[in-house]
Structure 1
């Protein structure tokens, strides 16, 4: 019996000790806090204000570090994203608003290109154009005495193709010939016009008319490259 009693007493005391442990810890913690507060309250007024200021600063720093700063960074990122999205939207809206005008401009440029291509033949088409000019002289009732191409004069993107022409006929037929050449789809300039050897045939005055008809053609890529190289050499030689 004594053995059982002596064994049971330590057990109850151990439980009591374990139950008193947290309470004792809490009491000691509260006691330390109370001592700290008493210590602060017993200090002079300036020290208490300084301690209060430091405490406020520490709390503000903790708030900024753990609450405000991450939130403000996220807000800044979202603000940047919103601003970028707004700018992109404005740009796309502006492009969409200008799209009809840009399409009209593109169509107009395409028409201008087609007109330029129609007026300036390529190298393969220039022979047919010269034949067409000669045919216009004959259709006007003129005798073609001379039809002699001169060397081409190369520009940056095109070449001038001059042709010496001498025709014989009355003045009215000559004017009709020049008018017909001016109405061709291709661009042809008539200059250096001269008259010589006038004769009469009944009531008509027959003239020999000299002129230079200048047609124009596009240069191909190889020709443009060659012209650019020659101009570069000429510019270098002048320096």
Structure 2
């Protein structure tokens, strides 16, 4: 069967009812395609974007649910760990000297140094350094002695009941002595910063 395209000549839009069958079919298919395309663009494409965003939200909510479920399932374990952390923190706070205990720390350092065989030439507090949650209390120390006495001194400082850290070591030979050295260093202790400070 051969298509007769001459049927598409001289068609009038005002008189669609009298068009031949083939132009009516083509027009119906064209209108159907236009309705489908416009319906998709107007109604479905917005819904597709909404669906994608809801699916992405579903994934994040599932992950949030999993993490909260994990916490809920292990709540007793987390509570026990929290108690242990609080106990550890309280013990660490006890290792920090309070403001009325800091002068005694100089006595402890002097005692540790002299029992180690060192001679103190300098032992001075430096200005406090305020940090976010603690206050740093530096002490400049200069001592004379032998290398082994220095090691014994550092070991005993580490054994003090209060937290003391040692920084900026500088060791020099003393001229005209039998192996004596000068050790300059900075010791730092820390104090918990109260809210009103």
| Structure 1 segment 22-61 matched on structure 2, within 5 A | none
Deviation at 1:146, TM superposition (A): 0.6
Corresponding residue for 2:142? 166
Which stretch of structure 1 is more off in the superposition, 110-119 or 148-157? 110-119
Aligned-residue CA RMSD (Å): 2.3
Which consecutive residues of structure 1, in runs of 5 or more, have no partner in the other structure? 1-93, 224-239
Label 1:101 to 1:206 Cα distance change in 2 as closer, same or farther (>3 A).
same
Which consecutive residues of structure 2, in runs of 5 or more, have no partner in the other structure? 1-70
Q: Distance in 1 between matches of 2:139 and 2:110?
A: 10
Tell whether 2:116 aligns with 1:140.
Answer: yes
Tell whether 2:178 aligns with 1:209.
Answer: no
Tell whether 2:80 aligns with 1:109.
Answer: no
Which stretch of structure 1 is more off in the superposition, 188-197 or 168-177? 188-197
Corresponding residue for 1:178? 154
Q: Distance in 1 between matches of 2:191 and 2:82?
A: 24
Q: Distance in 1 between matches of 2:88 and 2:121?
A: 37
What TM-score, normalized to structure 2? 0.58
Corresponding residue for 2:18? none
Q: Distance in 1 between matches of 2:124 and 2:159?
A: 22
Corresponding residue for 2:102? 126
Q: Distance in 1 between matches of 2:174 and 2:182?
A: 7
What TM-score, normalized to structure 1? 0.48
Where do 4+ consecutive residues of structure 1 move more than 6 Å?
none
SS at match of 1:217: strand
